[in-house]
């Protein structure tokens, strides 16, 4: 089986990324870009991001997760701490996040360290979730092998009966991580593949070093 994709080409030219028009703080630029992406119609889940970890088997693994909050300190997402990604983070907290927004011809690549957030913050977010999502977090032994879809759905129905009329509390094995960045690279597509790449690197004095990279 083979398929030649050599003719898949696109010319980029919607915007530019120039040093004279950016903040000294990369989180301010991220917020500006995110607001602009949110305003574009036709892009589902602009908060979808790829999370890369180094697995216990030594291989890198990427998967899409949802950004649920960002602050000047970092980027927050939620998951099962006992999942494959959770165990990978426990062994090596150095991770990579990436956003790709094709409608704006933009990427952001973030290197940082993932840390569990405070339990009360995870409690607050869990409480805001729909009941079905709460029960889904409890019933799924995430990343483990299961015999069938039917078994999972039967377990969910049993939980629905158990929790009928009761408050659903966050399980201790589920919660949030904050990725605290040490590097953010902003990529803006440009004509002739001469793309703009601006990298912010965190220094020992907590200032950000700004550099332009060759495309």
Token pair for 3: 């398929």
Give mean pLDDT, residues 100-111: 96
Does the predicted model carry a pTM greater than 0.75? yes
- Mean pLDDT calculated for residue range 136-148: 92
Per-residue pLDDT band for 10 (boundaries 50, 70, 90) equals: confident
Average pLDDT value over all residues in the chain: 95
The token pair at 85 is: 């990604």
What are φ and ψ of residue 27, in 5° steps? -70, -30
Structure confidence at residue 197 as a pLDDT band (50, 70, 90): very high
Per-residue model confidence as pLDDT tens digits over 14-51: 999 999 999 999 999 999 999 999 998 778 899 999 99
pLDDT at 122: 98
Q: What proportions of the chain, in percent to the nearest 5, are helix, strand and coil?
A: 30, 30, 40
Tokens of 4: 């030649």
Percentage of the chain surpassing pLDDT 90?
Answer: 92
Look at the block and give the residue holding tokens 């907590």: 206
| Res 11 pLDDT > 90 | no
What would the pLDDT profile of 82-103 be if each residue is shown by its tens digit?
999 999 999 999 999 999 999 9
How high is the pLDDT of residue 42? 74
Q: What pLDDT does 74 receive?
A: 98
- 49-65 pLDDT per residue, tens: 999 999 999 999 999 99
pLDDT in tens, 172-196: 999 999 999 999 999 999 999 999 9
Q: How would you class 187 by CB atoms within 10 Å of its CB: exposed for 0-12, middle for 13-18, buried for 19 or more?
A: buried
pLDDT tier for residue 6 given thresholds of 50, 70 and 90: confident
Residue 159 pLDDT more than 80?
yes
Phi, psi at 118, each rounded to 5°: -60, 145
Return all residues near 165 (Cβ < 8 A) that are at least 6 apart: none
Catalytic (active site) residue 63: no
Please answer whether residues 126 and 172 qualify as being in contact, where contact means their C-beta atoms are separated by less than 8 angstroms.
no
Mean pLDDT over 135-160 rounds to 93
Per annotation, catalytic residue among 63, 106, 129, 193? 193
């Amino acid at each position: 089986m083979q398929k030649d994709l050599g003719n898949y080409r696109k010319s980029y030219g919607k915007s530019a990324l120039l040093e004279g028009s950016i903040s000294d703080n990369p989180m301010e630029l991220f917020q500006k870009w995110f607001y602009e992406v949110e305003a574009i119609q036709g892009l589902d889940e602009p908060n979808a991001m790829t999370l890369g970890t180094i697995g216990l088997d030594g291989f890198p693994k990427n998967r899409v997760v949802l950004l649920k909050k960002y602050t000047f300190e970092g980027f927050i997402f939620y998951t099962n701490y006992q999942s494959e990604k959770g165990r990978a983070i426990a062994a090596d907290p150095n991770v990579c996040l990436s956003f790709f927004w094709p409608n704006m011809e933009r990427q952001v690549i973030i290197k940082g360290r993932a840390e569990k957030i405070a339990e009360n913050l995870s409690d607050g977010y869990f409480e805001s979730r729909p009941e079905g999502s709460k029960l889904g977090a409890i019933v799924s032994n995430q990343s483990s092998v299961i015999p069938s879809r039917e078994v999972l759905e039967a377990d969910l129905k049993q939980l629905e009966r158990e929790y009928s009329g009761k408050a659903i509390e966050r399980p201790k094995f589920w919660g949030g991580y904050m990725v605290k960045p040490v590097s953010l690279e902003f990529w803006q597509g440009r004509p002739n593949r001469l793309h703009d790449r601006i990298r912010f690197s965190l220094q020992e004095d907590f200032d950000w070093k700004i550099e332009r990279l060759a495309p």
